[in-house]
Each structure stands twice: as structure tokens, then as C-alpha cells.
A and B are shown apart, each in its own frame.
Chain A
Amino acid sequence: MIDVEHLSKTFRVARKDPGFVGSLRSMFRRETAEVVAVRDVSFRVAEGEIVGLIGANGAGKTTLVKMLAGIVHPSGGRASVLGFDPWSRDDRFRSQIALVMGQKAQLWWDLPPADSLLLLKEIYRLPDAQYRETLDELTTVLGLGPEMRTPVRKLSLGQRMKAELVAALLHRPRVVFLDEPTIGLDVTAQRAVRDFLLRYRERHRPAIVLTSHSMDDIERLCARILILKDGGLVYDGGLAEVVARYGDDKVVTVALDPASAAPVDPRLLEGLGQVLESSAATVKLRIPRDRVAAAAGELLRRLPVADLLIEEVDIATIIERIFTERGKPGP
């Protein structure tokens, strides 16, 4: 459904020195610099797949999504979405995709969602029966009722995002781009949006590309992730495999015997690994994977251990490490 080959995007952006003199100088001579937003990215997404696109701020996630939705022209490479070149502005392409932006309202601000939906019905040329059926399905699942007749500007953020989802999915798109769909939502609303997306995927089997900084979104929704770093794709694979590939360490948590109330002598932990936490009750260390067995033995020998737990480093930490490490080779 989505086929991307060597896609790149370079922006030319204005630069200005800070302060009044910089502002004055820029009135006469504007300096510009080229910024590579997306660099030689290739991947495929199949029908019914939800792919998480993750990366630090400025990694190129949103630019990539905007290119695939046909909004931004690439500087190089090619992409095919549903067999169409996204930048050809073919109506058959645009009537089969949707883009939901958590930070940018698509609905008309002054009007109730119901009014915007009537216009969308005409824009997408939806038959009356299909419009009513889809609208009923979406509003029921998302729990929207009187909100549909309330001006968007008076809705809460969660209600607005639900209404945005209804507007985006009204025409039953086969490819959905979701850019931070749960940003700013409370935990309950986040869960409702995630549950809805899973149900929608089960029923309609669209290809979904999701960008999010929420690891909860990624873990709940995506079996596969793409990690972008400085515009380049550094990982394309299963969420579980990223741990095996980049999770060089394990976390060992030791619950100490309550009878020994004294804090642990730091010298007892020397050479075992990175101490994450140390108190009278608990010691937590990050230990290289190949030394875990030996280190666990040492801990059992040196400390009054009541319990011992060995875990993988959590996925958010691994991904954060990928974002921040520089110079690590890509796949």
C-alpha cells in the first residue's frame, strides 16, 4: 500500500543572528541554510498494518508523513501510496487517504462538527446511506453525542480529537496518517483513542502510519516501528526486536532482606554495573547482557538478597538511547 524508496527532503531556511543588530542586518542580507529533514528513507507498509514512526523532535517524522500525504514535495526519491504518486494530486488518491494532526485542527473552529461533516460528505461525494452508516459507527464507538452539535472551539481537547477522527475517517480511507493523535489528551482519552484505532483497524484494514512521542501509543498500537534519527531511518522492524538489537543491557533489581536496615555500602556494588538506585530496601543496576549471570551471582553473594528480578531495559529507554547516541551505524 505504501512503498517508499530513497525519499529525501531538504528545506532552505532563513537564519538570523540574535538581537537587534541581527534583525537589522537580516533586513538587508538574509542568510539561508539547507536543512536535511528526511534523508534517503526507504520502507513499505502493507494493508492492515500499523507502523509507528518515532524519533526525537526534528527527526523528520512529520515531514515524512506530509510527503506521503502529498502535501510536501520531496527533494529526491520516490513514493507510491495506493499505487499513486502522492504529489500528482489525483482525486482518486486523495479520496482514499486521511491525515489526522493532533496539533492542528481540521474541523472548522466556529462550527459544530456536524456542520463540517456535512461539507466533508460533499467533498468526498459520499452516498447518504454510507455517510449515515459510517457516522453512526464512528460516533457510537467514540462516544460522541451532543458534542457533534457544539461549536468546535467549545469542545475539550479530547472531544475535539475524537471529532477530528470522525472527520478524517468519514470517507473510510485505506491509508491513514496519524500525527501525534493523543498529544495533550488525558489518560482516559488516550486509551479511548487507542482502543478506537485498534477496532477501526480490525474492521476496515487500513494501512496506518502513526507518529507519536507516547511510548504507550507505540506499544499498544504498533507491532512494527520505524525509528528516524537526523532524517535517516536507523531502524525498521518489530518492536520486540528493537530490544534484542539495541538493548545491550539488562536491569537487575534486588529486594534486600528487611532485617538488614542499613544502606548498602557502595563498594559492594563496584564493578557490577551502572547503579540506577540504591537504598536500604532496593538496589537496581543496569548490567551488560553478557555479564548478567556473573553479576547476579556476585549480588547474591555480597548482599542480603530477599528477591532478585532480571528484566529487559524498557523500550522507551532503548529508543531514547538510539535517539541520543551519535554516530551509531544504521541497519
Chain B
Amino acid sequence: MSLRLYLDAAATQARRSLTYRVDFWVEAAVVFFVSLGVAWSLWNAVFDATGAERIAGFDRRGMVLYVVTVLLAAKLVRGADLGDAAVSSDVFEGGLTRYLLYPASYRGLKYAEHVGGLVPSVLQLVLFGVPFLLLLATPDAPVSPASLAMGVVSLAVANLLCWLLLFPVHCVAFWAEGVWTLVLAVRFVGDLLGGVMIPLGAFPAWTRPWHEALPFRHLYAEPVETLLGRRDPAAWAGDLAAALGWCVALSLLGQVLFTVGRRRYAGPGI
């Protein structure tokens, strides 16, 4: 398969996602400032109520930095996992028909489109997130060019892992009529166990084996902690290898479900 095809598919989707200018700016501002406002208010209240100087290894400023960064990163990791471009929408509404006609891999094209659809989120991160990250960098979060580089790689792998994790869930649409709630449930579990809602260090010690055994920590907590300079290169490499292992396993599962499910596809909407 030609790399140029997938770059073109990504570029086409990027053009589509930049079509709606007002939506871009409103979302950029809302996501950033609302996230910042909520994180600031919530964690200040928690620190005030508990009287603690540090929670889960973060001081107040470090916690706000982590929460805002993880929320911005989550947009990059998830992309458009719901909506009309989602795999389950293709199955349910018949958009899959177009792709089945093409002499190209459906999953390859969809992932390329998924990546292309991230362009607005990347721009939003560059416009708002990076200045904020550099402004609020603390001794708790020693952001450096190396940590940024490793973090970007981790985010790229996390994006692939997130897409491969949700692909089998979307494939349930071949058997069930609507999987929107199921996708939301998986997203919620991912947010909870991936460190979006609260840092993983805030969980009780007995939950750690679960975090280790499941792939969710690779989605959000690890890339963000890497970006913030809180992981050394050896730990980062180990996490990355584990994340890639999950990618392979989930890719195989998705391939099996798609192959079996496609036999049930009726090409609705024609």
C-alpha cells in the first residue's frame, strides 16, 4: 500500500476538518479555558479541603498543569471517536459501502482520516497548550526538549492504541444497531483508568495491578507524564514497547471482528 495514499487521505480529512472556521475557534477557546477554569477551581478546593501540600506527587500548580495538559492531550489521543466519521456510523448508516468499493484497506484509510482529523486539535494545542505548558513548568514538571520529543512519540502511539482499542467496539455495530453508548462507556473507563479524571497516583495502591494489566495508562497518563518530564528514558521505552504490544493484539482482534462482521453488512441507506 502506498504511503502517499494514506497521506492524501489524511490531508483530505484535514481539509474537511478545517472547513468550519467558527467551530474551530470556539472549540479551541472553550476547551482550553473551560478546562483551565475547572482544573484550577476543583484542585484548589481539594487542596484547601485536605490541607495537603502534595497529592499523588503533585503540588497545586503541578496538578493544574497535569490536568490541563492531560485534557488537551486526550483530544489528540481520542480524535473524533464518535460522530459521522466513526467506524460504527459507517456500519450503521452505510458509509462503509464507499470504502468497500475501493482497492485499499478500510482500516488504513479510516486511520489516515482519523489522523488527518486531528489537525484542528494539534493547532489548538500549539496555540494554547504549548505556551501554557512552558509558562507553568515547575520543578515537579521539568519540561525539556527531550521530554517533549519523547512525549510526542508517546502521544502518537497512544493515538494509534486508542483507535485500535475502539475499533473492535465500533465493530459491534455489525451485530447491534447502536453502539454509541458502548463507545462512551469505554471512553469513560479509559478516562478513569487512564488518568484523565484524576492522576493514577491518586488511586489506592491495591488498584495498581489493574492499571498495569490494562492498556488505559498508555493512553493518557504516560504520554502526559513523559511530556512533563516525569519519566526517564528507560521507563518511557518500556511503556512504549508495552503500548505497541497492545496495538498488535488489538489490531488482530479488530481484523477478526471486521472480517466476520462484514459478512453481516447489508449496505444500508442505499
Bitwise, A55-77 to B at CB < 8 A (1) or not (0) is 00000001100100111110000
Question: Is there a chain B Cβ closer than 8 Å to A103's Cβ?
Answer: yes
- Residue numbers in B under 8 Å from A101 (CB-CB): 97, 270
Q: Closest 3 A-B residue pairs measured CB to CB?
A: A91-B103, A94-B103, A95-B103
B residues in contact with A116, CB < 8 Å: 12
Contact at B263–A122, with CB atoms within 8 Å? no
The CA-CA distance from A63 to B269 in the complex, in Å, is: 12
Which residues of chain A have C-beta atoms less than 8 A from B19's C-beta? 110-111, 151
Given A104-B94, A123-B104, A111–B8 Cβ distance below 8 Å? no
> Within 8 Å of chain B (Cβ to Cβ): is A147?
no
Q: A70 contacts B100, CB within 8 Å?
A: yes
Which residue in A70, A95, A119, A151 is a CB contact (below 8 Å) of B12? A119
For the complex formed, measure the closest distance between the CB of B87 and the CB atoms of chain A, giving whole angstroms: 16
Q: Which residues of B contact A95 (CB under 8 A)?
A: 103
Residues of A close to B5: CB separation below 8 A? 122-123, 125
Alpha-carbon distance between A71 and B266 when the two chains are bound, in angstroms: 8
List B171-220 residues whose CB lies under 8 Å from chain A. Answer: none
Q: Which residues of B contact A89 (CB under 8 A)?
A: 100
| Chain A hits for B12, CB < 8 A | 108, 111, 115-116, 118-119
How many chain A residues touch B (CB < 8 A): the figure is 34
Tell me, rounded to whole Å, the shortest Cβ–Cβ distance linking B172 to chain A: 16
Query: By the criterion CB–CB under 8 Å, are A94 and B8 in contact?
Result: no
Q: List 11 additional A-B contacts (Cβ < 8 Å) besides A66-B97, A66-B267, A119-B8.
A: A73-B262, A73-B263, A91-B103, A91-B104, A95-B103, A99-B101, A103-B269, A115-B15, A122-B5, A123-B5, A123-B103
- CB of A226 closer than 8 Å to a CB of B: no
Please name 13 pairs of A and B residues whose Cβ atoms are closer than 8 Å in the assembled complex, sorted by A: A66-B97, A71-B267, A94-B101, A103-B269, A104-B269, A108-B12, A111-B12, A111-B16, A118-B8, A119-B9, A122-B9, A123-B103, A124-B103
Specify the chain A residue showing the minimal Cβ separation from B106.
Answer: A89
Tell me the bound Cα distance from A119 to B7 in angstroms.
10
Asked whether B103 lies within 8 Å of A108 as measured between CB atoms, the reply is no
**In the complex the two chains form, is A71's CB within 8 Å of B101's CB?**
yes
Give the residues in chain A near B102, CB-CB below 8 Å: 94, 123-124
**Does B21 sit at the interface, judged by CB under 8 A?**
no
Most buried by B among A73, A101, A104, A151: A104
Q: Is the CB of B9 within 8 A of A110?
A: no
Interface presence of B50 (CB below 8 A)? no
Instruction: Please tell me if A179 contacts chain B, counting CB pairs below 8 Å.
Output: yes
**Contact indicator per residue, chain B 1-39, by CB within 8 Å of chain A (1) or not (0):** 010110011001001100100000000000000000000
Measured CA separation A108–B16 after assembly (Å):
8
For A104, the chain B residues whose CB sits under 8 A away are: 94, 97, 269-270
Closest to B268 in A: A104
Collect the chain B residues with CB atoms within 8 Å of residue A124's CB: 102-103
**In whole Å, how far is B112's beta carbon from the nearest beta carbon of chain A?**
10
Check: B58 CB closer than 8 A to any chain A CB.
no
Return the CB mask of B224-245 against A: 1 if under 8 Å, else 0: 0000000000000000000000
Specify which of B4, B266, B270 is in contact with A103 (CB 8 Å cutoff): B270
A110-133, CB under 8 A of B: which get 1 and which 0?
Answer: 110001101100111100000000
For A179, give its contact among B2, B9, B270 (CB under 8 Å).
B270
B8 cross-chain contacts in A, Cβ below 8 A? 118-119, 122
Kindly state whether residue A98 has any CB partner on chain B within 8 Å: yes
A11 contacts chain B at the CB level, 8 A cutoff? yes
Question: Which residue in chain A gives the minimum CB-CB distance to B93?
Answer: A104
Measured between alpha carbons, how far is A11 from B268 in the docked complex, in Å? 12
